[in-house]
Amino acid sequence: MPELPEVETTVRGLARVLEGRTMTRIETRRAGLRRPFPVDLAQALTGARVTGLSRRAKYGLIHTDRERTLVFHLGMSGRWRIDPGEIGKHDHLVLETSEGQALALNDARRFGFMLLIPTMELQAHALFAEIGVEPLGDELTAAHLARLAHGRKTDLKAFLLDQRNIAGLGNIYVAEALHRARLNPKRPASVLAMRNGAPSEHAKRLAPEIKAVLEAALQAGGSTLKDYRKADGSRGAFQDRFAVYGRDGEPCEHAGCQGTIKRIVQAGRSTFYCPTCQR
């Protein structure tokens, strides 16, 4: 599933061709994806000008001058295609702009969805009301991690994947951040806080490593494992720099570590880590 870097990369790619443009045609080529398309989508947005694009957690947001925002989630296999040429069977929505630009939302597995939400109601909407801080913003600090984790028995991986704590983190980047911070994903989240609630040394290591791995992934255009492509059709490249994800049985790359990457299953999902240096 596309995570924060992939969605952010998609939004930046779309902004180059959508921001300030008028949507002259919107065609839905099926009833919906995981959820039905908004019934008034074409009527509501045909002729609307795109005033900006943004991202919240793993959602892309296309803001318009009609005070309505088109929210998209890419699901497992969704991606936008700019100037797609021939429209394929998995292109389920086609959008054209006043500049003659065509865009298609492609989703082979159809786990994505779109919603049309009044812009003023976004923050209070059920999708966003309980989402945690953005990890690339100033709010994600060691102190913030400690406040959330103090006394928590849930494991570190589950704690970081919980979107109510931190927005947009997924399986790949949690694994990579924990490895960078040399923290075992099975440890309780409470290790991020001292008894008095102050941030522990673990939290002080982890907060900057979360930011660092996401920034590195953004610079690489995200990770392409199967279906994900950037809006221009090119692949992301961060998968070539994974330190642990998908590398079970391979040597740990931390300097001086003689360990081997191991795969375990937590809550039905693969976890990759080095038992030797991640304590």
Residue boundaries of the structural domains of the chain: 4-121, 142-273
pLDDT at 68: 97
219 φ/ψ angles, rounded to the nearest 5 degrees: -60, -30
Please tell me the CATH superfamily of domain 4-121, with its number: MutM-like, N-terminal (3.20.190.10)
Percent of the chain with pLDDT over 70: 100
For 66-115, the pLDDT digits (tens) are 999 999 999 999 999 998 888 999 999 999 999 999 999 999 999 999 99
CATH number corresponding to 142-273 = 1.10.8.50
Catalytically annotated residues: 2-3, 58, 269
User: Both tokens of residue 24?
Assistant: 């002259």
Under-50 pLDDT residues of the chain: none
- Look up the pTM and report it: 0.95
182 — alpha (psi -120 to 50), left (phi > 0) or beta?
Answer: left
